[in-house]
Amino acid sequence: MKPIHKKLLSSLLFLIAITLQAQERKDTTLMREISINGQRQRISYRLDRQQIDASQVLTAQGGTALDVLRAVPGVVLDAEGSLSYRGSQSFLVYVDGKISPLTGTEALQMIGAANIRDIEILTTPSAKYKTDGDVGIINIVTRRAETEGWDVSVNGMASTWATLSLDAKINYRMGHHNIYVGGQGSDIHNKSQFQQEKFTTAGGASARSFADGTRFRNFRTYIGQGGYEFNTGWHRLAIDLQGGRTINPRGGDMLYETELNPNLSLREVMDSHDRYKLTKYLFQASVDYTWKLNERGDEISLSNRLRYDRFSEEYTESNMFNLAGERMEGTRGYETEHHWDCDGALSYKLHYRPQGILELGSQYTTYSEEGDYRICYWNLPTQQFVWQDDLYAPFYYRRQVISGYAQVNDRIGPLQFNAGLRVDHLIDDMDLPTITSRHKIYTELYPSAHLAYNTTKAGTFTLGYSRRTNRPGIWKLEPYITYEDYHTRIIGNPDLESEYIHSLELSWRKTFGNTQVAATAYVRRETGVVDYVRRAYDVGVTLDSIINAGNEWLNGFEVQVTTKPTPWWQLTANGDLFFHRFRATYQGCTDTNSTTGAIGWINNFRLAKNTSLQFDGHFVGGNHLTQGTEKPYVYFDLAARQTLLQGKLQLGLVAHDVFHTARYHSLRTQTFLSSETWVRPTYPNIVFSISYHFRQPTAKAKSGALSNEAEFVGKDF
């Protein structure tokens, strides 16, 4: 072990030891009284989802929903902090049963782990839910006040990566009424060391280039939120307002060494600085109303959500300087737009018998963007940027989805099931007057079914199926070139088609004394796989094009074992192994067969009544890409948590990748191109967090107080 690793580990253990000594002075018999039998499981399961208890993931302290999800088998975070689950980055994100104002990884980065109670993953969502996302839906259930009176929480964090975050929420509940207001500001950083070697051949010329430097990706969020909730038991009304700004910059600073036609030994060295920034000013309002019709529980629900981005700008910049500091090349691209989207739903639930529910519903979604794209290039002779008028591209995009569904849920003895069918009618319009247009109208069917059978001796068996899709957004359709950096360019594809996914899962769960075992076998078949194909564009320059690459089959197996070797030690071991088969339908992609997976080894230690320690080890297997491979790697995290002031104050310390072993190594090859990339997160990454939660010491909420409807337990959205 390197000296710095020893110092870090020693410092953490020393801090914990001091705390333990202080507590032992108060009660020398404390350690003998410890029991974790009352702890919630890290991951629990229901008919159509798995649920992660955020409080049990110490390594997420000071982090976000992304850090909580690291505990889930099949979840992998890349060097820039983007999450993939079972090999895919396509999923829907909801917060308390309502769609997030942001999407994908951005949405998960917006919610601090201290504000999360649970995260639910629906890999085969029922027909009542939206169909986007090939690996389903991630719903974040936030912590909510459940007692009358005042409830105040404040959370802050800082890290050695200069990450900062602060959020606060005030809640007042009285009788049928609940009012809350809050806000958050965060600047989350991802930093890495980057190296890449490319060999390209274009236009009869060849080149070898080597890049060495640093890359970064930040998530800056400033959001305010407020709302009102009313519940009499018969009528439930919830109004929520959110607004603010998000800024997501990324980029890199590289030293490029290029050899043109290596046999002639023509060599140049350039200093490269590339920047990307997406800025949004957004507002979102949602209203939900439910009317309970009778004592049997029949109800009508109505909901609507409106989001409006009054300004959004996507800015790209690439700069190339010689070693004397003179600008030799450069581009600046601006894509400005405003956009709005709206979701609405009306549903009716009929309890046709005590355990049976028939639900009928109608939903609609409309999404619009309007803006333009401009780019200018550095003119070396005149020493100025010049606008490229022939590349000016105004655009308009609108998608409308009108849906209807029917679903039945029932239980007969030990057998529980649901089945449903969803119909989506879509109108897809895109108009780029200077380039192309696209107009599509079509109707699709999406069935789903779930079955659970519970036996005392054999355990619980569940079977789930759903059909889903990934519909390309406008940024994948735009057929003009944008710059990732000066040597890497990206272009969309207006002819891109949707992906279609069939998902099937079979799970088994059983408890053996202090040990719980859960195993899942899953199959995912995807047609029209959307991927980037990389090709040589110019000497030393590559172009990534978005295409429908082919079809793939994913057969996987997940297992999780949770046990308690001692009253103060809880051990969780999980693994995900899957076989991937890809059959190319696009020239430039190749057929691949691969077996890969991931292993997690998670140890929770209750060292004292108010002191906890967690040590995790993770192995991420290699992976085959449509044009190459990714190498395997391992990493380890260490975390400690101390609770003070009768549980009101929590202090956390987390060291990510404590042995500096995480790295991302990939290779891409084809006829006129080969590239090899090494990415390694900057070391060290240590996070300190502090949370304070004050509750007015009153009795539990009265029966007329608002129930926690937002727990995503079947609520339509």
Give per-residue pLDDT as tens, 668-714.
Answer: 887 777 889 999 999 999 999 999 998 875 544 433 332 333 322 33
* HSE-up of residue 348 (Cα within 13 Å, Cβ side): 6
User: pLDDT tens digit string along 504-551?
Assistant: 999 999 999 889 999 999 999 999 999 888 888 877 788 889 999 999
Q: Is residue 371 part of a domain?
A: yes
Beta bridge partners of residue 574, listed in sequence order: 560, 600
> How many percent of the chain have pLDDT more than 70?
90
3-class SS of residue 400: strand
Q: How far is CA 630 from CA 264, 577, 594, 627, 701, in A?
A: 33, 16, 11, 10, 53
Q: Where are the alpha helices (DSSP H) in 320-386?
A: none
Q: Is residue 236 part of a domain?
A: yes
Quick one: pLDDT at residue 265?
60
Q: What is the chain's percent helix, strand, coil content, to nearest 5? A: 10, 70, 25
The pLDDT of residue 361 is above 90: yes
3-class SS of residue 672: coil
The pLDDT of residue 416 is above 70: yes
Cα torsion angle, 325, 326, 331, 332, sign: positive
Structure tokens at 354: 């005590």
Q: Is residue 186 part of a domain?
A: yes
CATH of the domain at 531: 2.40.170.20
Average pLDDT over residues 370-398: 92
Distance of CA 387 to the CA centre of its chain: 37
Strand order in the sheet with 116-122: 43-45, 50-53, 116-122, 137-142, 92-95, 98-99
Quick one: pLDDT at residue 221?
92
Average pLDDT over residues 610-623: 92
Quick one: pLDDT at residue 583?
92
- Write the single-letter amino acid at 454: N
Distance CA 595, CA 176 (A): 55
Distance CA 683, CA 657 (A): 8
Q: What angle do CA 183, 226, 361 make, to 5 degrees?
A: 125
User: pLDDT tens digit string along 436-457?
Assistant: 999 999 999 999 999 999 988 8
Q: Is residue 717 part of a domain?
A: no
Q: Is residue 672 part of a domain?
A: yes
Average pLDDT, the chain: 85
* pLDDT band for position 263 (cuts 50, 70, 90): low
Structure tokens at 468: 């889903």
User: pLDDT tens digit string along 486-501?
Assistant: 778 889 999 999 999 9
Quick one: pLDDT at residue 239?
96
Domain count, the chain: 1
Q: Is residue 716 part of a domain?
A: no
Average pLDDT over residues 109-131: 90
Higher-pLDDT residue of 344 and 487 is 344
Question: Among the listed ranges 13-22, 113-122, 191-200, 600-609, which one has the minimum average pLDDT value?
Answer: 13-22
The pLDDT of residue 351 is above 80: yes
User: pLDDT tens digit string along 224-261?
Assistant: 999 999 999 999 999 999 999 999 999 999 998 888 77
User: pLDDT tens digit string along 83-94?
Assistant: 888 878 888 888
The pLDDT of residue 15 is above 70: no
Quick one: pLDDT at residue 292?
96
Please give the residue range of the domain that contains residue 120: 3-711
N-terminal to C-terminal alpha carbon distance within the chain: 51
User: pLDDT tens digit string along 452-487?
Assistant: 999 888 999 999 999 999 999 888 898 888 877 777
Structure tokens at 646: 């009768």
Average pLDDT over residues 195-199: 89
The pLDDT of residue 405 is above 90: yes
